[in-house]
Amino acid sequence: MIICKEPKLTDAQLVEVQQIVAEFGCTIQVIVGAHRCVYAILGDEQHELMFNRLHGLDYVDRVDRIQSPYKLMDRRGQLATHTASIGTWEMGKGTLFIAGPCTVDPKNPQALFETAHALKEIGVHVLRGGVWKPRTIPYAFQGDVKSLELMVEARARTGLPLNIEVMDSEQLDLAIDAGVDMLQIGTRNALNYSLLKDIGRKTQGRKVCVLLKRGRHMAPIDEFIAASEYIVANGNPNVFLCPRGTVPEVQGLRNHPDESIIPLLKDKTWAPVVYDPSHAVGRASFVPLAALASIVYGADGVCVECHIKPSEGIGDDPKQAITPQRMQKLMADVAHVRQIL
Ligand code: PEP
Ligand code: MN
């Protein structure tokens, strides 16, 4: 839809606009209003260059897309009936609970196993655990491939599917070989299109899920959904969207909590939305509240950092992990809240 600066285009301007869209197989339909005309673009609107050329015309005020820029993720698209599932959880049948340590400590396997057992007991569906860690400072602990073996062992002992973050294609291959059930793309890689494509291609036809975190610097919702389109367009429709807070952070919190975007996401796309309250607020005592807020906003699930003894954990665990006991109360509270929604 083209809105021009003057009430209507001159004949010469209209011809110019028609010529541009014709190059991309589209036509213009003029809609005559009482005070001004608008110009509808008929045809496939997926051509970025067509929009850039129209935007570049000095007599054009705005060009709005009617079609969604992401065909596959769109709620009205062909995948709208796709039902996401992982382990014993299926979309639409209750809340998905993902929980586990921020970072697996390769020197303390017992902590991971005890955490995993406790989480299994209380009914968590997926065990999360950072093997390779994206750290702000290069001298901080970056993870250890031994932790991958520990996660695989934790799955063997509990039957819980695994969620592990991968940051490059080498880690992706190792995680796929280990049969990781849910691959996480972290906030720092949310716009790493080559990694998104790679993950889509390499997991095509496999029952592997992808948890895509919202980029910390991502503003528009469409950018987030369009990033997930890369994974789906390259072969894997099992994508979960995970808001986790953005910049600028609220003073005293780790990020700017963004659970209020959940209804917007649900409006635009069919993909399940799993909220990460742990990185959004960054303080264990606030995590359950943020998790409950996300449920009120319509989240399909939550991904919570959890540790049997947070003070003995590494990475984010001492400051933001909650105990399995606190997680159990949160799960009961979620069930209550869902009853009144
Ligand atoms: C994490 O899940 O531990 C993590 C590093 O998340 P994010 O990418 O959202 O910071
Ligand atoms: Mn973390």
Give tens-digit pLDDT for 20-56: 999 999 999 999 998 999 999 999 888 889 999 999 9
For the entire predicted model, the pTM comes to: 0.92
- Same domain for 40 and 175: no
Residue count of the chain:
341
245 CA: nearest ligand 1 atom: 9
Does ligand 1 come within 6 angstroms of the Cβ of 301? no
Note whether 157 and 190 are same-domain residues: yes
Residue 89 and residue 58 in one domain: no
For residue 178, report the distance from its CA to the centre of ligand 1, in Å. Answer: 21
Mean pLDDT for 277-281 is: 98
Q: What would you report as the CA-atom Rg of the chain, rounded to the nearest whole angstrom?
A: 23
Query: Which tokens sit at 282?
Result: 């960054």
Q: When comparing pLDDT for 96 and 136, which is higher?
A: 96
In this structure, the answer to whether residues 50 and 159 fall within a common structural domain is no
Mean pLDDT of 158-187: 97
pLDDT (mean) for 8-30: 96
Which CATH number characterizes residue 31's domain? 3.30.70
Percent of the chain whose pLDDT exceeds 90: 90
**pLDDT class for 138, splitting at 50, 70, 90?**
confident
Confidence of residue 141 (pLDDT cuts 50, 70, 90): confident
Does the C-beta of 213 come closer than 6 Å to ligand 1? yes
CA–centroid distance, residue 101 to ligand 2 (Å): 8
Residue 137 lies in a domain: yes
Q: Is the CB of 282 under 6 A from ligand 1?
A: no
Helices (H), the chain: 11-22, 48-55, 109-122, 146-158, 169-177, 193-202, 221-233, 262-268, 277-281, 287-296, 317-320, 324-340
Would you say the CB of residue 214 lies under 6 angstroms from ligand 1? Answer: no
Predicted confidence (pLDDT) at residue 158 exceeds the cutoff of 80: yes
Whether the CB-CB separation of 212 and 188 falls below 8 Å is answered with no
Whether 143 has a pLDDT exceeding 90, the answer reads no
Residue 91: pLDDT over 80 = yes
Instruction: Tell me what pLDDT residue 140 has.
Output: 86
Do both 245 and 156 map to the same domain? yes
Q: Are strands 162-165 and 182-185 parallel, antiparallel or unpaired?
A: parallel
In a domain, 73, yes or no: no
The pLDDT, as a whole number, for residue 219 is 76
Contact 321, 307 (CB under 8 A): yes
Kindly state the average pLDDT of the residues 322-331.
98
Q: How far is the CA of 187 from the centre of ligand 1 (A)?
A: 6
Residues 43 and 102 in one domain: no
In the predicted structure, residue 134 carries a pLDDT above the cut 90: no
Distance 316 CA to ligand 2 centre (A): 5
Say if residue 57 is in the same domain as residue 126. no
pLDDT, tens digit, 9 for 90 and up, residues 216-247: 998 789 999 999 999 999 999 999 999 999 99
Residues 179 and 40 in one domain: no
pLDDT at position 74 over 80: yes
Tell me which of 131, 276, 320 to substitute to probe ligand 1's pocket, judged by most ligand atoms within 8 Å of the beta carbon.
276
**Do 45 and 167 share a domain, yes or no?**
no
> Out of 23-37, 117-131, 156-170, 310-324, which region has the weakest mean confidence (pLDDT)?
23-37
What integer pLDDT is reported at residue 49 of this predicted model? 94
Q: Compute, in angstroms, the gap from residue 113 CA to the centroid of ligand 2.
A: 18
Average pLDDT over residues 66-84: 90
Residues 139 and 170 in one domain: yes
- What CATH number is attached to the domain comprising 326? 3.20.20.70
Q: What does the CA dihedral 52, 57, 62, 68 come to, rounded to 10 degrees?
A: -30
